[in-house]
Amino acid sequence: MRNLIRFFIRHHVIFLFLILEVFSISLIFRYNNYQRVEFLNSSNVVSAKVYSIYSSISDYFSLKQVNQELAEENARLRTQLEDRIVTGRLINFHDDPDSLKPDYYYVPAKIIRNSINDQFNYITLNRGSRHGVRPEMGVCTADGVVGVIAHVSENYSTAISLLNSKLKINVKLKKTGAFGSLEWDNGDYRETVLNEIPFHIKISQGDTVVTSGYSSMFPEGIPIGKVIKVGLNKGSSFYAIKVALFADFKRLNYVDIIDFTRKDERDKLEQLEEQDKK
């Protein structure tokens, strides 16, 4: 026993080295399984605080741009509202008051950190569990989809950016309704790749890609981007489609987090389906 202890003391450097390296590696592998290591991401207190102080200063430089974008969005929303009042869709014909509740709420949030040059990009937001943010909520701007919430702390949250190949989003083509999945290919931050659209579907440059509404993260029809290149994959029956994103990831500032009020209900229902398959 004494020899063993002496052995460890004599070789403590190599043991410490191995322990630290194994620990680092295990962190990397565990991180891949979606939201495990709670304290080790940029929504933790220290790093989120630093980023929010920094962003409160750097925001002044983009005020003009942001103002203009907000004004444009206001105008667009006002037109939509007019439309709805005219067509009477704001008045629901059910008597059940609960059914009048909107399906989706939008939590406005500000981006306090954003990356576009990593291979797996993340975004940190200044809203957390106190504001009703939960993992797997969608994040979008007026232009289009931005990402999905991954980790949440009390006042902050981090989102997996669309520019992260770990995120796949269910989308469809606005014109034909054909659906596929969108995935970043680690290339340009302005483009992503649309997969799983079979050959028999007609597709042309300039077609708009929108969310499908098949997952409870995004409502149907939020714009994402437009088709810029249609290619053929050798040896597969799907197109290789390049999509130019509407949202400019280099200049993201304010976003909306989408809270689907009936998410639990829908998830529970769809879980039953999974059970049926077994």
Binding site residues, other proteins, CB under 8 A: 12-13, 16-17, 20-21, 23-28, 30-32, 37, 39-42, 44, 46-47, 50-51, 54, 115-120, 122, 158, 165, 186, 188
CA distances from 140 to 91, 163, 222, 254 (A): 27, 13, 8, 9
Q: Which of 40, 70 has the CB closer to other proteins?
A: 40
Helix (H/G/I), strand (E/B), else coil: 205? coil
Least separation in angstroms between residue 244's CB and other proteins is 17
Q: Which of 53, 85 has the CB closer to other proteins?
A: 53
Strands 169-173, 179-183: pairing kind:
antiparallel
- Locate 155 and state its tokens: 């006042």
Least separation in angstroms between residue 146's CB and other proteins is 16
Least separation in angstroms between residue 115's CB and other proteins is 7
Q: Which of 41, 212 has the CB closer to other proteins?
A: 41
* C-alpha span between 120 and 165 (Å, rounded): 7
Using alpha carbons only, how large is the chain's radius of gyration in Å?
A: 23
Q: Which of 151, 172 has the CB closer to other proteins?
A: 151
* C-alpha span between 215 and 217 (Å, rounded): 5
Least separation in angstroms between residue 17's CB and other proteins is 5
- Locate 84 and state its tokens: 């709805």
Q: Which of 42, 141 has the CB closer to other proteins?
A: 42
Least separation in angstroms between residue 242's CB and other proteins is 16
User: Would you give the distance in Å from CA 227 to the centre of its chain?
Assistant: 20
